[in-house]
Structure 1
């Protein structure tokens, strides 16, 4: 049984369709890339899975339970966590307190403040922010805020982690370091990942399978090496058939 399954999921805003009849499965332990040009519907798919937007039609299943009719906080408690393209930590709180709040909610809720503190400090060590624990979150660099975003999601104790462009805006050196961190976290916390990313080399390194969205519909699905030479995808990105 798949850990996550989307069956003919559609999302419309008035007369505009953001996602149309989209279906895919994710097995436990997989790392799946979700690829597409801007406006293809990728982040909308994440919002539907995480429950921050309701589906218009179709069904979403997680660990054998239908979740498309559940509120976001219950979906989080089932074991799904996500990051956001635009990171918005609790800027006036410390880095540590941002994680403690997350650790007290979600799938693996800490039973006490002390246990939330211990878990949060361990995660900060894993993401390279241990020395920033008492710093206000709003004063971190972009790379630091991206790491904090991932750390907050991890603190909820997810089985499935949805990463939405966590490499965007980073330098090449920062991208390489973030990739190594994500690989480590995936193994250490036994995570299943779905990753939205425009940095193709990152998807090639992380993912065993890539799903391509175009105008809200699945355009292609396959191994990274096959996807990068698919003429349909090249046309979707560049507007013409490559010669």
Structure 2
């Protein structure tokens, strides 16, 4: 990756036209060929950019540009669309290249699979004295995240989400309708478990006799005190 801090102006031409007047900015030329133009603000989003596949070439400034103080011109052209990003560089304040190597990718903590695994290991949070029957319990329309038996042997189907919304409640409702037809399971209770449950989803769940369980992910990992709340 090449990082350049420069006073520059940028023009984008193609399916749309855009202009950034002269100012000090960060130019990030990545190994995949892309170029991103950043200011000291706006969080992660660049002011303008060119995504791959594209190529960067340098040009000498024209007479008018040189007289205006431009010392170098970059042209980044998209190989498929022909869109172009033209950068007029007036002054370079920093120029460095860095080999970042192969990135292992983002590993998310607290995704649904983690919540499901932790809840399967702590089924007492669903019902005291409960036992796990199976994770990914199969139905004709897809697997239920957890199938549990309470202390009295009654079946409980649990749907686990990071953020619980109406769609998740509808999904669990469909599972319950199918599972309720199995004489070995009926009657089946439903529990909708999530780190956060939207108010509309809670109203719908309670109207359908489904219990809502708010999960304290940090507490379940043992990194903080706190217990899920069953409503």
Scaled to the shorter chain, the TM-score interval is under 0.3
Larger radius of gyration: 2
Normalised by the size of structure 2, how large is the TM-score? 0.25
Higher helix residue share: 1
More strand per residue: 1 or 2? 2
Give the TM-score taking structure 1 as reference length: 0.24
